[in-house]
Structure 1
C-alpha cells in the first residue's frame, strides 16, 4: 500500500485568468454593452445600469449563466452570450489584454518547482483561446479549462477545480490544491471544491472584504505573491 506523505505540498495550482493572471482593462463591461445593445438595451438606460451592476457583482461566473439571469429566455441569453464573446474576442484581437505584472514569472516558477498549473475561466473556449493566443500562452501550462470542459457549470460551482483535479491527477487529495482568483465566485468555487488554499488577489474585480467574505484563506496583492506564499506554508508544516 502506498504511504501518504505527512507534509502537504500544493502541487496542483488552479488559476483564474481575467483579473488574476490577465489584465483586460474592463473589457468585460465593454463587451457586455455591445451584447446588451444588440438585444435592445440602450446604454445609459436604467435597465442597462441595473444589468451592468449584476455583471460586476457576478464577475467570475460563467457568462452564459449571467445572461440567463439577465434575459431569462434561453434563446435571448444565448444570443447575448454569443454577441458578448464576439465583442470580447474582437477587443482581445485588438491587443487590449496583457499579463498581470509578474503573472508569467509566477506561473513559470510554479512549474519549475514541479507543480501542475491549470488556467481556468468563465469565458467560452473560443474566447479563452483568443486570450491565450494574444498573450503567446498557448503552451505555457499543461491544461486550460472553461465551463464546457467541466460539464457546462462554471463558478461558483466547484466543477472547474474538480475537473483539474481529476484530469491532471497531480495530487492525491483536494486539500493539496491551491486556487487563486480575483472574485468572490472564484473563492466560493475553491471553497466548495475542498481546496486547501483559496487565495484572493487584489488585481481584479472584487475587494478584500468580498474575497474574505466568500472564504478566501489568503488575500494577496497579486498572483505574483503566490509562489512565495505556498513555499512559506509548506515550510511551516
Structure 2
C-alpha cells in the first residue's frame, strides 16, 4: 500500500468507537422529577406565581430544554444576568437538599454498562447540564467518583448542549484521533443534536428520560433503545456492522 493510499484509508475508513459521552439525569440516573421541582422553587423564589400562565410557560420551556446548561435556561427565562445567576444558585441549593433525601438513583444497568464499556476498551465521559458543584454532589452520592474516565459540565467546555463543546472537550482531553470514534448517549433532543454537531458516528437515544423516540430521531438519533442497559448490545452490533 502506498503512503497516499494509507492516508486516504485513514481519512475515509471506519473508526472503532473509543469514547462514549453519556448523559446523566434520564440516561444513567433518575431523580424522580427533582430537577423540575428544583427549577420550580427557583422560579417561585424569583417572583413567578405558581400556577400562573407565566410560571407554566417557563416550566414548559425548562422541560423542553432538559439537557441544556441550567444557567443557560435561566438566562433565557430571566433577561437580567444577575437574576439568572441568582435563580441558578437557588436551583443548585434546592437540588442539593433533594440529593440528601436519597431520591437520586442509578437507572438499572447503568453502572454495569459503564463498566462494560471501559472493560471493552472504550473510555467514558459523563456529561451534564448541571453545574460542577451539583454534578460532583450527584456523583459522590452514588459512589460514582472515578467510575468514568472523565466528567464534564458546561463550564468545563464553554457551552452546554445543544452545542458540541462538551463532546469536543472530551475528545481533546482523552486524546482521541477522530470525532468519529465517539458515541453519544442521552435521553433528550439536545443530547442527540450535540452529537450530530460534533461529528460523532453514533447518537444513541434512550427512553428512560424526557423525550420520545420520535423526538430523539428528529434530533438526529441513529439508534434508540429502551434503556442504557441495552447499550452494550447496541455497541456490539454497531461495531459488527462497521468492521
Scaled to the shorter chain, the TM-score interval is over 0.9
Q: How many residues align?
A: 235
1:218-237 aligned within 5 A: 218-236=223-241, 237=243
Counterparts of 2:237 and 2:60, CA distance in 1: 38
The residue matched to 1:118 in structure 2 has which SS? strand
> Gapped runs of 5+ residues in structure 2?
none
Q: In the alignment, does 2:94 pair up with 1:90?
A: no
Counterparts of 1:234 and 1:47, CA distance in 2: 48
CA offset at residue 7 of structure 1?
4.8
Aligned residue in 2 for 1:35:
42
The CA RMSD measured in Å over matched residues stands at 1.4
2:205 to 200, 203, 207: 200
Contact 1:118 1:164 in 2 (8 A): yes
Runs of 4+ in 1 over 2 A off after TM superposition: 1-8
The residue matched to 2:161 in structure 1 has which SS? coil
- Taking structure 1 as the reference length, the TM-score comes to 0.96
Q: Which has the larger radius of gyration?
A: 2
CA offset at residue 99 of structure 1?
0.4
1:162 to 165, 168, 171: 168
1:74-85 aligned within 5 A: 74-85=81-92
Aligned residue in 1 for 2:184:
179
CA offset at residue 228 of structure 1?
1.1
Counterparts of 1:109 and 1:52, CA distance in 2: 37
Contact 1:106 1:224 in 2 (8 A): yes
> Gapped runs of 5+ residues in structure 1?
none
2:74 to 31, 49, 67: 67
- Taking structure 2 as the reference length, the TM-score comes to 0.93
Q: In the alignment, does 2:224 pair up with 1:190?
A: no
